[in-house]
Amino acid sequence: MPKQIILAAHFPGVNNTTVWSDPASGSHIDFASFVHLARTAERGLFDFFFLAEGLRLREQRGRIHDLDVVGRPDTLTVLAALAAVTTHLGLAGTLNTTFREPYELARQLATLDHLSGGRAAWNVVTTSDAFTGENFRRGGYLDRSLRYERAAEFVRTARELWESWPADPFVGDRDGGRYLDVADPGGFAHHGEQFDIAGHFTVPRTPQVHPVILQAGDSPDGREFAAAGADAIFSRHGTLADGQEFYRDVKARLARHGRHPDDLKIIPGVTFVLGDTDAEAQERAHHIRRQQVSPQTAILLLEQLWNRDLSGLDPDGPLPAVDPDVSADAISRGRAGMYADPVATARQWRALAEEKGLGVRDLVIEVTGRQSFVGTPGRVAEQMNHFVQSDAADGFILVPHLTPGGLDEFVDRVVPLLQERGVFRTRYTGTTLREHLGLRPARTREAAVAG
């Protein structure tokens, strides 16, 4: 039996994958756009719909970075509304553990799981900088070393809350005047380093008991956090060799936590470009990359690495001769920490530009793209399947470049070919997201005790 491919649809909203300047690009705010993409994904029998999180508008050189389409409505509200217009599609929201509280978020996610009949998923992130934190808690941040500590305890606490009600507590005994068959519904007490809370959880057990937990974060701490308890990872490791190395690394960590390799799915974010011939698809891909990286965007992306004002630089000219400024505060805010070693990366970029004779814009186009599957529908289906069967991934979160119509062609032309190969479902066989993903039911405390 070949592995089955997991497919998810990313509504990109704010980033430079999105081509806002294309005449076919629609609103990133109107509910109709969310409905279009979600219904297309469901028509294509996708596993889930995915939203990233950005809680503050990005800035660069002190100005709002509007080339990454500005504006992003609230994730949980959008997902709850989508629950009403879809029937099977999983609904995944990225929600950070640094600026929220477990009681509140556990309640919101449990509510989404009830409203959607077991389709909720939480992509746990710690967020990348203090700039975002200024919106929230005590004017700033949680030290980096404490972020995963808080994240781990946050998820543990949320799981305690989700299990605080017994499985079937309602008796509805009218004659006896008893509604519940439990003395202490939702009772909990969590006394830990990060959270010291006790009381009663107001939301009874949900169809999945625990919403599906995704994790995005790449450091050793992030990988270990995923191995310990997440159901899936949203990764940046989309190419074949890099994907295989990441896959091996993370799956090897699971045994230490008493888990099976199939308990954690690896799902990188990727893009795709289709054409009637491979040459036509390549040409379209070239055009799309130039739309994504305008001359202005090229300079802004370069500044994110160099951490210098490069507004005077010619987008068609050579890269700066000076090295990145690693001593100053980041001039790009809301997207910091993208490069572990900016000076080394800048040197690699310069070497590549020289070797290939590239100016700034062409170099940025070359080095900042995600893994992209480009070709005829047949070639794209074949490549994606090859990645999954060779353990570079368990599936993909597709990031279309056009909102909201960017997934239509994929669903119409690639999904049937994956189905023909027997590697993608031809109908939904379950109702919950856990079932779609082939995950075992949530391992509750009772299940753990029962062995």
Question: Which residues in this chain contact ligand FMN in the complex, by CB under 6 A?
Answer: 52-54, 94, 96, 125-128, 216-219, 221-222, 234-236, 269
Nearer to ligand FMN, 267 or 418 (CB): 267
Nearer to ligand FMN, 10 or 190 (CB): 10
Nearest-angstrom CA–CA distance, 22 and 20: 6
> Which residue bears the tokens 């107001």?
202
- Taking a C-beta distance cutoff of 8 angstroms, is the pair 251, 263 a contact? no
Nearer to ligand FMN, 201 or 246 (CB): 246
- Return the number of other C-beta atoms located less than 10 Å from residue 230's C-beta: 26
Q: Which residue is nearest to ligand FMN (CB)?
A: 222
- Taking a C-beta distance cutoff of 8 angstroms, is the pair 122, 161 a contact? no
Cα–Cα distance list, 141 to 101, 102, 103, 130, 195 (Å): 14, 17, 20, 5, 17
Nearest-angstrom CA–CA distance, 327 and 139: 23
> Which residue bears the tokens 């941040």?
141
Nearer to ligand FMN, 52 or 288 (CB): 52
Question: Apex CA 225: angle with CA 50 and CA 330, to 5°?
Answer: 70
Task: Please report how close the Cβ of residue 181 comes to ligand FMN at its closest, in angstroms.
Answer: 42
Nearer to ligand FMN, 269 or 275 (CB): 269
Task: Please report how close the Cβ of residue 241 comes to ligand FMN at its closest, in angstroms.
Answer: 18
Nearest-angstrom CA–CA distance, 122 and 342: 31
Task: Please report how close the Cβ of residue 137 comes to ligand FMN at its closest, in angstroms.
Answer: 14
Closest by CA to 119, choosing from 431, 450, 416, is 431
Task: Please report how close the Cβ of residue 234 comes to ligand FMN at its closest, in angstroms.
Answer: 5
Task: Please report how close the Cβ of residue 292 comes to ligand FMN at its closest, in angstroms.
Answer: 18
Nearer to ligand FMN, 157 or 215 (CB): 215
Give binding residues for FMN as ranges: 94, 148, 219
User: Which amino acid appears at position 97 of this protein?
Assistant: T
Q: What share of the chain is helix, strand, coil (3-state, %, to 5)?
A: 40, 15, 45
